[in-house]
Amino acid sequence: MADLWLDPFAGISGDMFLGALLDAGLPLKQLQADLKGLKLSGWSVRRESVMRGALAGTRARVKVTDVAHPHRGLREIRKIIHASKLPTRVQTRSVSVFEKLGQVEARMHGVPVEKIHFHEVGALDAVVDIVGVCAGLERLGVERLWTSAVNVGSGLIKSQHGWLPVPAPATAELLKGFEVFSAGPAAEHTTPTGAALLAALAQPVQRATKFVPAAIGYGAGERQWPDFPNLLRVTLGGEPARNAAPWEQDEVGVLVAHVDDAAPQMLGYAMEQLLAAGAWDVVLQPIHMKKNRLAHRVEVLCCPSEIAQMAGILFQETTTLGLRVDVQQRLILKRTQSVVRVAGHDIRVKAARQGKKIITVMPEYEDVKKCAQAQKQPWRNIAQRAMALAKEKL
């Protein structure tokens, strides 16, 4: 599995993306062979080494000789792609790009998406760009795509609908949720095709993650400026190799607040809400703060993707005015779960292993409680019997 990081410091378009993949190691012959599966004639693609500003890059040149059908609808494009011999994921990714653009165009023009006819994006060269990018991603083994802030450009452009502001309305809609900026010459640096590729395939980078670069590519845009490198940079790589330790490693989100003016009932209710929302654990610890104030330290452990949700609950259900947030590495023992039967009751038991060695065996509290109450036995007696049976079973 590989990841691809995109750096659209000068924007992004379909041909820039395709050129960047070629520059990062995508073999041209493989790309050409994949595109022939579209069963479309009247096109050719080649690569060219060029300079953009002070940097070298690769220009993907798609030449079209058949312009009899420059406009295509979404239904026709779907049919062309699904009738090809391309891998299923290439077809799915390609169609998703066109659907993203079609949905935006339909919303902007107030018509059903099936009645949208693409103009520049439906032309043969744009179809080759989009399908070529998706085929290239498959050839390079790319599973996930991430993008940094996107340079959209500035000024005005002439289109089929007359003069439009930059970014074009479709581009602006497609980039909702992405960080954007404007730098360099007044021009369109990110096209609707480039924005649709990002919207359909990539995720915005919200925090740094560990990543080992393996190859870097620069895809050149058509325009040239002497002091502006009109390039898209992509970095192909993946996560660092896992060590051979007998435990697993992942990440945990940690939220901490010191609360000195909340009633115990408020904190207890907040804990219940956090756990109900999926927090892995919530800890309340009495502390002594400045000016001799008695308070509580509230610590929440959760999946990193749930940090914002947990923060919202803390702000809503407690009196805290601020949180300390971190994403930490976590080492965890491999765990398995089995079921043993004690006095006619099923009790789930977790076992933690370090390699092949069993480190701990612990029954589920609620299961033991139910059995202990039914048998009128001490909780610890039922727990010990469940652990003994689990060890024998394991």
Top-confidence range, 20-29, 103-112, 121-130, 206-215: 20-29
Instruction: List the single range of 22-36, 219-233, 297-311, 347-361 with lowest mean pLDDT.
Output: 347-361
Q: Residue 82: its pLDDT value, please?
A: 92
Q: Would you tell me how many other CB atoms lie within 10 Å of the CB of residue 115? A: 13
Residue with tokens 């009645």: 115
DSSP class of residue 39 equals: -
Q: Residue 116: its pLDDT value, please?
A: 62
DSSP class of residue 238 equals: E
Distance, C-alpha 129 to centroid of its chain: 22
pLDDT tens per residue across span 367-390: 999 999 999 999 999 999 999 998
Say if residue 38's pLDDT is above 60. Answer: yes
As a whole number, mean pLDDT of residues 4-26 equals 97
3: closest CA among 280, 215, 252? 215
Q: Residue 121: its pLDDT value, please?
A: 47
Higher per-residue confidence, 265 vs 336:
265
| Tokens representing residue 50 in the block | 């060029």
Dist. CA 193–CA 349, nearest whole Å: 53
| Tokens representing residue 172 in the block | 């602006």
Asked if 61 contacts 222 with a C-beta cutoff of 8 angstroms, the reply is: no
Q: Residue 248: its pLDDT value, please?
A: 79
Say if residue 233's pLDDT is above 60. Answer: yes
| pLDDT interval class at 242 (50, 70, 90) | low
| pLDDT interval class at 114 (50, 70, 90) | low
As a whole number, mean pLDDT of residues 247-252 equals 84
Instruction: List the single range of 17-21, 309-313, 363-367, 389-393 with lowest mean pLDDT.
Output: 389-393
Sheet holding 293-302, edge to edge: 281-289, 293-302, 248-259, 324-332
Which residues have CB under 8 Å from 41's CB, separation 6+?
Answer: 66
279: closest CA among 315, 255, 262? 255
As a whole number, mean pLDDT of residues 326-346 equals 90
b/e 70-104 (16+ beta carbons within 10 angstroms → b): eebbbeebbebbeebebeeebbebbbbbbbbbbbb
Say if residue 1's pLDDT is above 80. Answer: no
DSSP class of residue 31 equals: H
| Tokens representing residue 231 in the block | 């390039």
| pLDDT interval class at 108 (50, 70, 90) | confident
Say if residue 276's pLDDT is above 90. Answer: yes
Q: Residue 5: its pLDDT value, please?
A: 95
Give, for 75, the enclosing helix (H) or strand (E).
helix 74-82
Sheet holding 2-7, edge to edge: 43-52, 55-64, 212-220, 231-238, 2-7, 142-147, 202-204
> What are the DSSP calls for 113-157, one per residue?
GGG-EESTTTSHHHHHHHHHHHHHHHHTTEEEEEE--EE-B-SEE
As a whole number, mean pLDDT of residues 90-101 equals 93
201: closest CA among 161, 143, 136, 155? 143
318: closest CA among 270, 247, 382? 270
> What are the DSSP calls for 306-349, one per residue?
GHHHHHHHHHHHS--S--EEEEEEEEE-EEEEEEEEETTEEEEE
Which residues have CB under 8 Å from 361's CB, separation 6+?
Answer: 349, 350, 351, 352, 387, 390, 391, 394
Distance, C-alpha 10 to centroid of its chain: 22
DSSP class of residue 243 equals: P
pLDDT tens per residue across span 281-323: 999 999 999 989 999 999 999 999 899 999 999 999 999 999 9
As a whole number, mean pLDDT of residues 325-331 equals 92
In the chain, what are the domains?
Answer: 2-238 (no CATH), 248-332 (3.30.70.1380), 334-393 (no CATH)
Beta strand pairing call for 180-181 and 150-151: parallel
Share of the chain above pLDDT 70, in %: 92
Could you give the dihedral angle defined by the CA atoms of residues 269, 275, 280 and 284, in that order, rounded to the nearest 10 degrees?
10
